[in-house]
Structure formats: C-alpha cells, structure tokens
C-alpha cells in the first residue's frame, strides 16, 4: 500500500514518529499494557494513560495516584484527563505541570458511556460551546509548557454534531492537536466510523494537527485512513485489544516495510503470560494481576481453536501457576488463524444518549452548570 505524504507529528515539543497514538481506554491502557505496546513498537509512538478524573487527581485519590505513575522508560509521559468543571480541570492541569507528573495532557470529550454523559461529561460536553471553551482556557492557561490536546467524537447524534465547532474552539484556545473518533455518542462503538468527518475536520482545522480514530484494525487501515482523510496521525483503540504487536506492524508500515505479525498460539500465549505478570507486579499482588488480566483472554485468543472449556478455564485463572497450567494444555503449535482479524471489543449499536435534563437546549447557554457530583471520585473507568 502506498504510504501517504506525512510530516513528523508534533505534539508541542514532542515529535511522534511514526504518527501513531495509543488511545486511552479505561481499564486497559494502564502501565503494563503501555509497556507491551511500547516494546513491540521499539519505543516509537505516543502511549496515553487511561482516563484520570480531575477531581480525584486534585484530591489525591489513592487509586488515581497509582494510575498517574509512569515507568522511567515512558517518554513522553501522557495523561488523559476527564473533567466537567473548568476550575477543577485547571487545578488538575496545574498540579500535573507543577509536580512534573507528565509531559502531555489530553482531555476526554469522547466517552459515550451513560454514567459520563448523563452528567454532561465526555462526548456530551462539546454541545455546550461556552463550557467547552472555559475548560480548554483553564487547561491551557495552567499547563505551562505542557502541550494540551483533546479527543472527541462527531457529536451527540447526527442531529447534534459538534466536532467542527469544537475544533475551531480548540484552535482559538491554544490546544496543540485534536483527535476525532468518527462516530457520534449515540453510535457508541457500533456501525462504521465516518472517516469523511475526519477529512472535513482536517479541512476546517489547518493550524494544528488533526488525528483520526475509528476502525483501525490493522496497519493497512492506518495508512489508508491517513491517505484518504489527509489527517496528520492516527489514534488506535480497540484494534490493539489482545494485539499489542499491532504497534510493531504500524511502525513497520509507516517506515515502508511489508507484512504484519502473524504469531503462532505459542507466541501469543507468551505475550499473555507476560501481560498477566506485569499486571501483578504493577498492582503489587499476583492474584489481583491475573484476575485483572481475565478480560484480555478473549481478545488474545480470538480465532484460535481452543474450545469453550479451555477459554473458560483461562478466564477463571487466579494465579500465574494456574494460568501457566491452562496455557500449557493448549495446542500451542496452531498458526495465526484467518478469523483473528477484524473488530474487537464493544460493538453495540445506536443507543439513546443519556443527558442532563434540558441539555439539548441552547448550545450557547452561558449559565450552564454541571452538578457537583458530575465527576466520580475514582479514575480509570
């Protein structure tokens, strides 16, 4: 596939080569998973933490403080923040800058889950243009030398699109780059991502990099998105679930190489074992690490002939020894299966977006206020 014409992706002072970003995913892109992806990429690309709630950060919630801990090898350190109150967002960004907690701050305006949108957060928030502007102004104004970026969706639904206005507001408030998931909140993760919207945003926002997100399942998809939309980089989310080696494929593709990783089941299980071990070390408890790893089993083993009982045993493992036993019982000489490609993760179709009462009134309402409890007291999901 012909490579698109690209220039190095600049996120403030950070050059991201190739122009590939790991999307923040709650419960997924913790330090162990970022380590795996970074190892396969040879350290190339940008790897963003899972979502950090601004209030929890400011209040130094114990779980949140663990989530903002980065390995010494992670450079640049990238944090995604979720917030709905301009003042609290500003305090959180100032804390990150003053205490050298990260090198880059991304703001979440893309989450479509009801517990977030019903409080006016995530993908619901850009509909209130002045609230969006106030949050961005506080974030950029308190960031010092740290670059601030945003990740967003097209809008709430097809009748309430916000991405073009949000892109212009981001430019005006000094945001360094914008990433667009080519779906509305009502689509959640169903249907097909609208890459044409990414192209339209790129045409409307020329001053800063525009990154595209949605339906990148292999390296060829990333190259094709950049060629078809003209975007400056790609953000990879569900495509790397159970496939951290995708980042090696992406580096290879953008550097002009051919082919993609097609690991045998033996090679896949070695990555699974390392992933579970890293989680245990990170959590300080082997059992907790293996239990947390359970959600990854189906993604890693998709397409392989395991059988329902073997999958169930793997998904119920509670120790590394137990995981080793179940992995060792598999037919590890299986080659990479043809059915292993394609969508992974949540694929639910269109849903009504849960919003605060009256949210879809005047999008330029300057009196809009969010509830005091709009931010949960924990991070990561």
Give the catalytic positions in this structure.
111
Helices 320-328 and 265-283, interaxial angle, to 10°? 170
367: Cβ contacts below 8 Å, ≥ 6 apart: none
Q: Which two tokens stand for residue 23?
A: 């999307």
Q: DSSP labels for 212-267?
A: EES---SHHHHHHHHHHH--SEEEE-GGGTT-TTHHHHHHHHHTT--------HHH
Task: Say how many Å lie between the first and final Cα of the chain, rounded.
Answer: 37
Whether the upstream peptide bond of residue 76 has omega within 30° of 0, thus cis, is: yes
Cα-based torsion angle of the residue sequence 166, 169, 171, 173 in order, rounded to the nearest 10 degrees = -130
Contacts of 323 (CB under 8 A, 6+ apart): 272, 273, 276, 290, 293, 314, 317
124 and 110 Cβ atoms separated by less than 8 Å: no
Q: Interhelix angle for 265-283 vs 31-41, to 10°?
A: 140
């Amino acid at each position: 596939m012909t490579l698109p014409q690209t220039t190095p992706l600049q996120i403030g002072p950070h050059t991201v080569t190739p122009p590939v970003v790991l999307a923040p995913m709650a419960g997924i892109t913790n330090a162990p998973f970022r380590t795996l992806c970074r190892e396969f990429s040879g350290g190339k690309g940008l790897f963003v933490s899972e979502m950090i709630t601004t209030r929890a950060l400011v209040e130094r919630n114990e779980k949140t403080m663990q989530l903002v801990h980065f390995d010494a090898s992670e450079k640049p350190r990238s944090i995604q923040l979720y917030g709905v109150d301009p003042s609290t967002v500003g305090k959180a960004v100032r804390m990150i800058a003053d205490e050298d907690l990260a090198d880059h701050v991304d703001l979440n305006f893309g989450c479509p889950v009801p517990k977030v949108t019903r409080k006016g957060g995530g993908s619901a928030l850009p509909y209130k243009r002045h609230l969006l502007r106030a949050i961005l102004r506080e974030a950029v104004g308190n960031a010092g030398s740290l670059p601030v970026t945003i990740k967003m969706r097209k809008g709430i639904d097809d009748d309430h699109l916000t991405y073009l206005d949000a892109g212009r507001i981001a430019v005006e408030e000094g945001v360094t780059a914008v990433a667009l998931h080519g779906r509305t909140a009502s689509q959640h993760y169903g249907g097909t991502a609208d890459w044409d919207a990414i192209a339209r945003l790129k045409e409307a926002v020329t001053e800063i990099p525009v990154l595209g997100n949605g339906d990148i399942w292999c390296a060829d998809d990333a190259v094709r998105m950049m060629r078809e939309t003209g975007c400056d980089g790609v953000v990879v989310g569900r495509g790397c679930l159970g496939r951290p080696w995708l980042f090696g494929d992406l580096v290879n593709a953008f550097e002009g190489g051919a082919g993609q990783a097609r690991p045998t089941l033996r090679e896949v299980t070695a990555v699974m074992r390392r992933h579970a071990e890293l989680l245990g070390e990170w959590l300080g408890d082997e059992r907790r690490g293996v239990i947390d790893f359970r959600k990854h089993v189906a993604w890693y083993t998709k397409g392989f002939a395991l059988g329902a009982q073997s999958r169930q045993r793997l998904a119920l493992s509670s120790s590394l020894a137990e995981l080793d036993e179940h992995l060792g019982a598999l037919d590890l000489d299986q080659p990479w299966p043809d059915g292993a490609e394609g969508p992974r993760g949540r694929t639910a179709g269109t849903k009504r977006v849960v919003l605060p009462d009256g949210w879809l009134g005047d999008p330029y309402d300057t009196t809009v206020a969010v509830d005091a409890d709009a931010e949960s007291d924990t991070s990561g999901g």
